[in-house]
Amino acid sequence: MQTMIAKDALPGGDMRTRYVPSVRFRHGVLRVAPWLDMVLVMLYLVMLHSRVVLQPGVVVDLPVAQSAPGLMSSLIAVVVAGGAPQAPTYRVFFDNEQFALDDDSRLDALRTALAAKRMHLNETDLTLYADRRVSHRDLMRLMQLAQEAGMQRINLGTQPLDTVP
């Protein structure tokens, strides 16, 4: 004779396996929440990274003028104004070196560097990019220094009118 074995010895049968709740959170909005969290964290990191990382370079605010044909010169000097507006400090960048306009020994070093580069390249044309905050007196002083170094033509770089931000 065969004996029948009960499918589940627990009282209530297999109600635990057959119970289906009417609200399923896993199939709704909560199923997307981990992906949304990950996207928001990635967005936050990208935005934070772009603000924290400094971009290399020097910001030069060139004066605006009508563009005219200029000199084709490989000798380029950039003058940047910094510090407080009441007492600005001027820095000249030439041939990957920095020179201060208020230090006479550094001006002599700039004159020597200009003359050496002029002799090395056999070129007497200089393109000078000066920030609009550089005073006329200091700009003329720098142009006089370039002439003393043997530069015959000096082109002042400006920003064309059609590229003004």
Q: Is the pLDDT of residue 165 over 70?
A: no
Report the alpha-carbon distance of residue 78 to residue 71 in Å, rounded.
15
Report the DSSP beta bridge partners of residue 2. Answer: none
DSSP code, position 56: P
Tokens representing 111? 């004159």
pLDDT tens string 43-96: 888 877 766 555 555 555 666 666 656 556 778 888 888 878 778 888 889 888
- pTM for the structure as a whole: 0.55
Domains in the chain (CATH in brackets) are 64-163 (3.30.420.270)
pLDDT at site 159 = 65
Q: What kind and span of H or E run contains 98?
A: strand 97-100
pLDDT tens string 107-151: 899 999 999 999 998 888 888 888 878 888 888 888 889 889 988
Tell me which residue has tokens 């990382």: 53
